[in-house]
Structures are given as C-alpha cells and as structure tokens.
Amino acid sequence: MKLVILDRDGVINFDSDQYIKSPQEWNPIPGSLEAIASLTQSGYRVVVASNQSGVGRGLFDMATLNAIHAKMHKLVAQAGGRIDAVFFCPHPADSRCQCRKPKPGLFHEIAHRMHVDLAGVPAVGDALRDVQAALSVGARPILVKTGKGRLTLEGGELPEGVTICEDLREAANILISEME
C-alpha cells in the first residue's frame, strides 16, 4: 500500500493564527484538492494528521470539527480524490499528551490503524513540528512553502535532507513521478 500523510492547515487549506473555527473559515489552497485527487488516482491512500488544539482550548467543539472535515472530504471528492482518514490531536499545546506533533503519537496511531510501517512514508507539512514528527517514526518529511512553510525555512532549524516544495501540488507531482 502506498500511503501519504498530510498536515491539514497550511498544506490543504489556508491557515489562520486565530484557528479555523468553522466550515466557512476552511478554504482550500489553490491546487491542493487537485493534488489529493492526483495522489488518490495514482494509487496513494491519503490520510491527514493535524494538531487541532482549538478543541481543547474551547474555541470550537467536536461537532464543528466534524463539520469542517465533512466540508474537506466533500470538496476533495468533488475534485476526484479521497481522504481515507483524519487523525487529530485535540489537546492544547501545554498538555502532556503524546499525540500533539512534534510528538509521534498521531503517526503511531496511523501506523496501527492502517497496518503499515511508516518507514519512508511521505509526510507533507508546513511546520518544523510536522518534519520532526515524521522523522521520529522514520517517515519521509516534505515541507511545503504554503502556510507556515516559508517561516519554517527562514527559521534555519530544518534538518538536512528534507524535501522542499512550493505547495502540495508540487509535492504530489514529485511523489507520482517517483512511482513511474
């Protein structure tokens, strides 16, 4: 099974420092839905791994998060793609959970539920914590310059060997071309 792990905010949809708190605030980055469709049509199973501390902070509830994800699934499907599962950490940043990226808990849960070893599995994110979480389980980190990506690059803390792409569309094109 070919698997790819995507962060949500800043990779698939525009991010906000005030959090994405409603379906109306969830807006896809141009080309991201088509990129997911291309991955799906090329045989990839697509899963999302996302920190959603807004739940733990009380900024929105689970029903709202489910509605946001329903919108995402619907728009991806309309573009011809599919997201197989969404894994998220609802805990605030100051919690001691193991699922909040950069900790590997979400990735371990993906491996368990999808029955797959994550060694070499591409993981696309826009922040250093996404890269760190991927590296902690042997996955292949890909940083996109959308969302917090440019700031992450400017921070200078990116480990060697991380693939850097303009956006999810470029990352998808690279992954698909490697299959050929």
Enter the pTM of the model.
Answer: 0.97
Residue-number span of the structural domain to which 109 is assigned: 2-179
Contacts of 47 (CB under 8 A, 6+ apart): 3, 4, 5, 6, 83, 84, 85, 86, 87, 110, 114
Tell me the pLDDT tens digit for each residue of 91-102: 998 999 999 999
Please state, in angstroms and rounded to a whole number, the distance separating the CA atoms of residues 35 and 49.
17
Tell me the pLDDT tens digit for each residue of 34-69: 999 999 999 999 999 999 999 999 999 999 999 999
Query: Looking at residue 59, which CATH number applies to its domain?
Result: 3.40.50.1000
Query: Helices 128-136 and 105-114 sit at what angle, rounded to 10 degrees?
Result: 50
Please say whether the beta carbons of 136 and 107 come within 8 A: yes
Please say whether the beta carbons of 105 and 89 come within 8 A: yes
Coil/strand/helix, residue 54: helix
Tell me the pLDDT tens digit for each residue of 92-139: 989 999 999 999 999 999 999 999 999 999 999 999 999 999 999 999
- The answer on pLDDT for 15 being more than 90 is yes
Confidence of residue 179 (pLDDT cuts 50, 70, 90): confident
Average pLDDT, the chain: 97
Helices within 42-141 (DSSP H only): 53-56, 62-78, 105-114, 128-136
Burial (CB count <10 Å: 0-12, 13-18, 19+), residue 34: middle
How many domains does the structure of the chain reveal?
1
Confidence of residue 1 (pLDDT cuts 50, 70, 90): confident
Confidence of residue 180 (pLDDT cuts 50, 70, 90): confident
Give the residues across from 145 on adjacent strands: none
The catalytic site residues sit at 7, 9
Please state, in angstroms and rounded to a whole number, the distance separating the CA atoms of residues 83 and 69.
10
